[in-house]
A and B are shown apart, each in its own frame.
Chain A
Amino acid sequence: MHTYVISKGGDDLPEGTLFVHPDPDAMRDWFRAKPKGMTSKLTSAREAIGELVKDGDYLAVGGFGTNRITTALLHEIMRQGRKNLGMSGHTATHDFQLMAAGQCLDRVDVAYVVGLEARGLSRSARRLFEQDQLDVTEWTNAALAWRYRAAVMGVPFLPARIMFGTDTYEKSAAREIRCPFTGMKLAALPALSPDVALIHVHEADVYGNAVISGITVSDWELARASKRVIISAERLIPHESIRSQPQRTTIPYFCVDAVVEVPYGSFPGNMAYEYFSDEDHLKAWLEAERDPETLQAFLERYIYGVETFSEYLDRCGGLDRMQELRRLEFLLDREVGPAPAAGEGKR
């Protein structure tokens, strides 16, 4: 084994903490030892989180904030009371909001967190920063995507032409290097191999061969960069479906440690070609966060007071609501008229 020297930030160097040290040889050893047998990894959300997510782990969530996220797995992390997790904030919006509300985090690589895009800012998430309860390192979305890619390639860093001249760079853990061919300045982005990746997909077989439809965001990379990968899938498909159309496979089984079938598993997020985001529920979240007591009552009702994700869906309007969100996704209001009033009566 090599001994790696990690340069400490500060003085003239960017001062952000490097939470995950890029060590391609340690990762080679990890991947060598990872079981390659094609065995069933089908399990429940509770068991997957119980066995594969430990206090202190560094977590990355696939999708894009309110799109194709692993809501069911994140609820389970909250219910099981995981603490001191690190998180990759590669546009983490509702997913970060959940981890913040559950008080599961102690450090974060930020590209985009706290906000839910145009919907507003999460009070739970803001509080963590404004009360100095997190170790924070700043990055950008491309920086985190390319950090995953460096890990995918098995190299310790990738060079890029971003972040220079800004406070984002000063608060990052990137390093300036010189190109040996052109002499130009480049930002060295250290490989990022999360301890655990949670990725919601459209289809998977019991072995973990997984298919994502629509944009993959950074999940092709994330599945290959991470030490452990938990897949939640809208639906299980027969292994034969993978074999008959191998060009559709986004993630091969040997990257994957657990498979959980969770219909509507991205709710209240959008799932392309399945259902649109539930803007009413996301708004209710932001409103509940206005004060700690209303938040606790909200979390009790929707997360801590239920045992399974389907119970949560029932409390959010159940199948009737899912049907409305499906019609929204398919833009059916133009053909069948507007959906009946947003399921409000149910809640």
Chain B
Amino acid sequence: MTAYNQMELMIALAARYLEDDSTVVVGTGAPCAAAMLAQRLHSPQLVIMFEAGGMGPQLPSMPISVGDSRTFYRGLSASSMSEIMDLCQRGMIDYTFLGGAQVDAYGNLNSTQIGPPSQPPRVRLPGSGGANDLASLCWRTMMITPQDKRRFVEKVDFITSPGYLSGPGAREEAGLPPGSGPYKVITQLAIIGFCPQTLRMQVESLHPGVTREDVMENTGFELLWRDPLEKTDPPREEELRVLREDVDPYGYIIGRG
């Protein structure tokens, strides 16, 4: 079996969720690598989109910016922010990937500030960008994120983008489109879904060599556990080969693993 690093593991696992003939809005980095990997392996007709307007590119290399010229290279269309966000709002986008400095058990994300909303921030972060829009409007939100206690917290300092908010019914009550919300969280330790009853994070699968204790030690809130708990099928030779040779040959992303 080929050795792999944590970033390669997370990208390979995320790519498996992107089925052919579906649509996904991504940013740069690991999510883009996952989408490219899926497109090259099992989903040649996966339509990759970027919020700045890039639609259906055949990405020649990893983009540096969500709006750089790679994001519409050999694309279906070089469109606009409005066009991509309209697609999301009218229900055309199956998947999106988001991340943040903090996430809670309901998948609510903070990318705005460290410190309470009532005060000037201890650390100011970029803000929503398109994240709130994508989390509000895309059918299924996924996350590829390192897991530790600093990031997986009981309460995020600032809810930038909505997960399941305070639990069942909360998104709909707040005014968000029904049937949308967080789907999978892929970390270096586990694949985490959301319990259908409580909408809190529920560990579905542990990666090879990882124990329940490892996951709990790196989480600042109480996790639910699926029964039976599965063991993650590690990256296959073919996934790693395409990822290394074709998707990210210079190691811009997987080099960080």
Contacts and interface: CB of A to CB of B under 8 A. Distances in A.
Interface of A: 63-68, 89-91, 110-115, 117-119, 121, 125-126, 129-132, 138-143, 145-146, 149, 160-168, 170-171, 176, 184-187, 213-218, 220-221, 270, 272-273, 276-277, 279, 329, 331
Interface string B174-204: 1111000000000000000000000000000
Interface residues of B, number: 57
Interface stretch (B13-21, B76-84, B210-218, B233-241): B76-84
Nearest to A279: B64
A149 B129 CA distance: 17
Nearest to A90: B81
Contacts of A165: 159, 162, 165, 170-171, 174-176
A131 B120 contact: yes
B43 interface: no
Contact of A187 (B69, B128, B175, B177): B175
B7 interface: no
A216 B129 contact: no
A142 B67 contact: no
Contact of A276 (B69, B130, B175, B177): B69
Interface string B56-94: 000011001111110110000011111001001100000
A329 B117 contact: no
Contacts of A112: 126-130
A142 B52 CA distance: 10
Given A125-B124, A213-B78, A270-B67, 13 more contacts: A64-B65, A112-B127, A112-B130, A115-B125, A117-B65, A130-B120, A140-B130, A140-B131, A149-B82, A164-B136, A168-B112, A168-B160, A215-B67
A138 B127 contact: yes
Nearest to A148: B82
Given A89-B127, A91-B129, A141-B128, A166 B81 contact: no
A27 to B, nearest CB: 19
B107 interface: no
A220 B67 contact: no
Interface string B121-143: 11111111111110011000000
Given A118-B29, A161-B137, A145 B132 contact: no
A110 B82 contact: no
Chain B's interface: helix, strand, loop or mixed, by majority?
Answer: loop
A90 B67 CA distance: 12
Contact of A277 (B61, B65, B66): B65
A67 to B, nearest CB: 4
A263 to B, nearest CB: 17
Interface in B20-40: 27-29
A331 B89 CA distance: 35
A113 B53 contact: no
A130 B121 CA distance: 5
B64 A164 contact: no
B161 interface: yes
B80 A114 contact: no
A67 B68 contact: yes
A176 B175 contact: yes
